[in-house]
Amino acid sequence: MKITNHYAALDPNLCQTAKAYLVSEPNLLLWNSELAQSLSLDQLDPDKRADYFSGQINLPGSKPVACAYAGHQFGHFNPQLGDGRAHLLGEVNTDDGLFELQLKGSGQTPYSRNGDGLCGLAPALREYLMSEAMYHLGIPTSRCLAVVTTGDQVMREKLLPGAIVTRVASSHIRVGTFEYFAARGQIEVVKKLADFVIDRHYPDLINSDNPYFDLLKAVIQKQIHLINQWLRVGFIHGVMNTDNTLLSGETIDYGPCAMLGVYHPATVYSSIDRRGRYAYGQQAGIMQWNMARLAECLLPLFDSDEKVALPQAEDVIKAIPKQQAEDFNRMMNRKLGFQNPVFKPSWVEGFLQKLQSKQLDYTATMTGLTEDVTKSGEDAELKDQLGDYYTNWRQQVNKADTQAVQQTMTANNPIVIPRNHDVEQALTAAVEDDDLQPFKTLLAVIQSPYKATKNITRFQQPTPEFDAGYQTFCGT
Domain ranges of the chain: 6-169, 183-414, 420-459
| pLDDT class of 454 with cuts at 50, 70, 90 | confident
pLDDT in tens, 208-242: 999 999 999 999 999 999 999 999 999 999 999 99
| pLDDT class of 1 with cuts at 50, 70, 90 | confident
C-alpha distance across the termini of the chain, in Å: 33
Q: What is the DSSP string of 177-246?
A: HHHHHHHTT-HHHHHHHHHHHHHHH-GGGTT-SSHHHHHHHHHHHHHHHHHHHHHHHTEE-S---GGG-B
Query: What average pLDDT score do residues 159-171 get?
Result: 96
pLDDT in tens, 300-351: 999 989 999 999 999 999 999 999 999 999 999 999 999 999 999 999 999 9
* Cα–Cα nearest to 111, from 78, 66, 155: 66
Residues 6+ apart with CB under 8 A from 206: 198, 199
Query: What average pLDDT score do residues 75-104 get?
Result: 95
| pLDDT class of 156 with cuts at 50, 70, 90 | confident
Contact 210, 393 (CB under 8 A): no
- What local confidence, expressed as pLDDT, does residue 476 receive? 54
Contact 373, 402 (CB under 8 A): yes
Instruction: Say yes or no to pLDDT of 122 above 70.
Output: yes
Taking the C-alpha atoms of residue 452 and residue 62, their distance in angstroms, rounded to an integer, is: 42
Residues that are catalytic = 243
Contact 27, 47 (CB under 8 A): no
- What local confidence, expressed as pLDDT, does residue 221 receive? 98
pLDDT in tens, 177-203: 999 999 999 999 999 999 999 999 999
Taking the C-alpha atoms of residue 23 and residue 86, their distance in angstroms, rounded to an integer, is: 15
Report the relative pairing of strands 159-169 and 143-155 from DSSP bridges: antiparallel
C-alpha to C-alpha distances, 244 to 115, 175, 200, nearest whole angstrom: 18, 8, 19
pLDDT in tens, 345-376: 999 999 999 999 999 999 999 999 999 998 88
Taking the C-alpha atoms of residue 135 and residue 294, their distance in angstroms, rounded to an integer, is: 26
- What local confidence, expressed as pLDDT, does residue 475 receive? 62
pTM value is 0.96
Residue environment code for 94-114, b if the CB has 16+ CB neighbours within 10 A, otherwise e: eeeeebbbbbbbbbbbebbee
- What local confidence, expressed as pLDDT, does residue 48 receive? 97
pLDDT in tens, 26-76: 999 999 999 999 999 999 999 999 999 999 999 999 999 999 999 999 999
Contact 134, 111 (CB under 8 A): no
